[in-house]
Structure 1
Amino acid sequence: MLSIDRPFRQATPDDAQDLAEFVNMAGEGLALYLWEQMATAGESAWDVGCSRAKRDSGAFSYRNAILRLVDDDAVACLIGYPLEDAPAPADYSEMPPMFVPLQQLEDMVPGTWYINVLATKQAHRGHGYGNELLALAEGIATSLGKHGLSLIVADTNLGARRLYSHLGYQEVAQRAMVKERWVHPGTHWVLMTKSLQIENKQPEAGAG
């Protein structure tokens, strides 16, 4: 695994509030909508988000998050993880309808390193922090021997799609969004991938 050094650091449970904000930012409000549905009496949507960020497992866990720092402040975030090479078939009938198109797209890219969240706080945009985190993601994926990177973006997020395309990502599939009461201008989720060249280790002299 690639070592993480400043200006980056691995997230901790103490970063839960920042992580919740980054996840909601990347999802354009989808996370907050879902957390509102999950909140119990006396619990806010942000309480739910923070609780999920503090978990030791799951996609949205601090263990999968890397922060980009300015001084000691977290200003950008990458959340990602390797997808299994041969995952068990997903049972779409057992998951909330909103998640089905996202899961269907994710299931098309087994064996990749999946970028779940990439977000930069508004006041710190335009400094290339997203590019830095994407380069870090590529290094992590390569160190793990993954053959590519993958991500899902809303069709209306044209800026992000241009950035990813410029960096070598290709749009490979789309699925219609299921919104329920989530208010968003998009109509489709877009799956994008980038292939990586995996270097084969040379045999040692005299081997064989």
Structure 2
Amino acid sequence: MIRMATQKDCMEIAKLLWVIFEDMELPLLKKISKNTLLDMVAECIAEPTYRFGFKRGLVYELNGEIAGVIFGYPAEDEAIIDEPFRNVLLKNGFDPNDNLFVDKETLPNEWYIDSVVVNQKFRGLGIGSALLNGMSQTAIDAGYHTIGLNVDKANPKAKKLYASLGYQKVAELVISDHQYEHMCKSLTIDSLEK
């Protein structure tokens, strides 16, 4: 079942997101311990404007457990999505400029899928595709005609999934010193049936 994320999901979501943080080799992981960073991210998830704020996320729940999560937002929100994390860094005595994410990720006028992750034990069940389609519907409901995401060039399996759902490469970006392809999809009601 897909549902909106809630504030009660914060720590469980933070733990799932950790997989992405490690894959991206985010520099902050070398400066702050895993438990402290998880606590800080979980605290921020309770803030609706955060990039991983509960109001920006959908979860796929299976047998009472969060099997996967996806976060998305309008490209124009990119300027404000990390303010809650900066505030938590400062509150905990860390440099507020040492953010998790520092690179621009979105293209203008798109609904951006920031992150999608499926718990390893639930992979291969179509949960990622269901979450991507759910976020596409969220974007359509918000009046967007284009949805975009970034895929690490070192992750051809993910790129294949996105391409199978109608996403096409439109640009290349560097995020956290990794090469990414920016892929977009035009949104219509019919595009959700792919």
Q: Is the structural similarity TM-score above 0.5?
A: yes
Match of 2:187 in 1: 196
1:117 aligned onto 2:115: yes
Unaligned runs of 5+ in 1: 1-6, 88-94, 180-186, 200-208
Match of 1:24 in 2: 18
After superposition, the Cα gap between the structure-2 partners of 1:35 and 1:55, relative to the gap in structure 1 and judged at 3 Å, is farther
Deviation at 1:24, TM superposition (A): 2.2
After superposition, the Cα gap between the structure-2 partners of 1:112 and 1:163, relative to the gap in structure 1 and judged at 3 Å, is same
Match of 1:90 in 2: none
1:17-166 equivalences in 2 (<5 Å): 17-30=11-24, 33-34=27-28, 37=31, 44-84=36-76, 99=101, 102-103=103-104, 105-106=105-106, 109-166=107-164
Deviation at 1:119, TM superposition (A): 0.7
Distance in 2 of aligned mates of 1:64 and 1:131: 18
Give yes or no for contact 1:68–1:129 (8 Å, CA) kept in 2.
yes
Give yes or no for contact 1:36–1:45 (8 Å, CA) kept in 2.
no
Identity %: 28
RMSD of the TM alignment (CA)? 2.9
Number of matched pairs: 172
Match of 1:174 in 2: 172
Distance in 1 of aligned mates of 2:99 and 2:116: 24
TM-score under structure 1 normalisation? 0.71
